[in-house]
Amino acid sequence: MIQITRKEQFATPTILAEKGSVLVEKMKAEYAAGVMQFEIDRTVYADANVKATLVKIQNYKCCYCEAKIGHIDDGDVEHFRPKKAYKQSEDDELHRPGYYWLSYDWDNLLLACTKCNGRNKENLFPIMETSVRASSHLMNVGDELPVFIHPVLENPELFITFDNNVPKPIDGNYRGRMTIKYLGLDRPLLNEDRGEKLDDLKLLFTMFALIPNTPPELKARAFKNLKKQFDTKTIETAEYAGMFRAFFKKYPISV
């Protein structure tokens, strides 16, 4: 998980700004009339243009696990704050309504792979200090500190690092630990896929270090190759960049 940059060219998609805003105003009026469950229009928040924009912003990667989303149909538009109901903990009851007024909010929408989206999190959305929970649009979500790390608004690398291919919370921090657990960032298949990709890189390191009396020109070529791996695997667009960044931090390349 790394921080996602939303560049200026990717403004709020028109359908959210226009149709989405109208629908939110309607829900606000319904809330005032006592309604607690709302119709939320998937064709608006998961509109093809919204999804395509998210795909581009996120460099064809899941916002959480950083796996490449191969085809536009593979990912799901995910609400960071759940739109219909929330739970503070696994044992908690479902509280309705959820963050209905953020159903079409650009900052609340992310693209997740189907695995992360169909994850253990569901409606679980714990916050650090429950007394400031925004239970309606009349309250301010800015007062809340969500337990889960938001990959656009925060830098996940301050909370989560990797022990080889396995994500770990830095110094055991709570938010990192909970994010890993409930988003399933250490699920076996994901660890396996990351592990295979890291092994290829480790092999290069091993070859570089272990062959005795390597002629300088070969060493120079090996270094050049490692530098290329660093350049291509740690950039924002690279799959599992968070893991590769943590690896190169631990094993910096130097001649």
User: Which chain residues interact with Zn ion by CB under 5 A?
Assistant: 62, 64-65, 113, 116
Nearest to 113 by CA among 73, 156, 86, 157: 73
Q: Please, are residues 114 and 76 in contact by the beta-carbon 8 Å criterion?
A: yes
Q: Write down how long the chain is.
A: 255
Q: Which CB, 64 or 148, lies closer to Zn ion? A: 64
Residues 6+ apart with CB under 8 A from 40: 23, 83, 84, 100, 103
Q: Which CB, 24 or 67, lies closer to Zn ion? A: 67
CB of 53 to Zn ion, least distance (A): 18
β-strand pairing of 109-113 with 166-169: unpaired
Q: Which CB, 44 or 113, lies closer to Zn ion? A: 113
Q: Which CB, 57 or 113, lies closer to Zn ion? A: 113
Between CA 44 and CA 203 the distance in angstroms is 47
Query: What are 65's two structure tokens?
Result: 């696990």
Residues 6+ apart with CB under 8 A from 181: 120
CB of 68 to Zn ion, least distance (A): 10
Count of CA atoms in the C-beta half-sphere (13 A) of 246: 22
CB of 4 to Zn ion, least distance (A): 13
CB of 64 to Zn ion, least distance (A): 5
Q: Which CB, 116 or 160, lies closer to Zn ion? A: 116
CB of 176 to Zn ion, least distance (A): 17
Q: Which CB, 117 or 161, lies closer to Zn ion? A: 117
CB of 160 to Zn ion, least distance (A): 14
CB of 114 to Zn ion, least distance (A): 8
Q: Which CB, 54 or 116, lies closer to Zn ion? A: 116
Whether the link from the prior residue into 97 is cis, omega within 30° of 0, is yes
Distances (CA, A) of 24 to 28, 36, 42, 142: 6, 14, 13, 18
Q: Please, are residues 133 and 144 in contact by the beta-carbon 8 Å criterion?
A: yes
Between CA 233 and CA 236 the distance in angstroms is 8
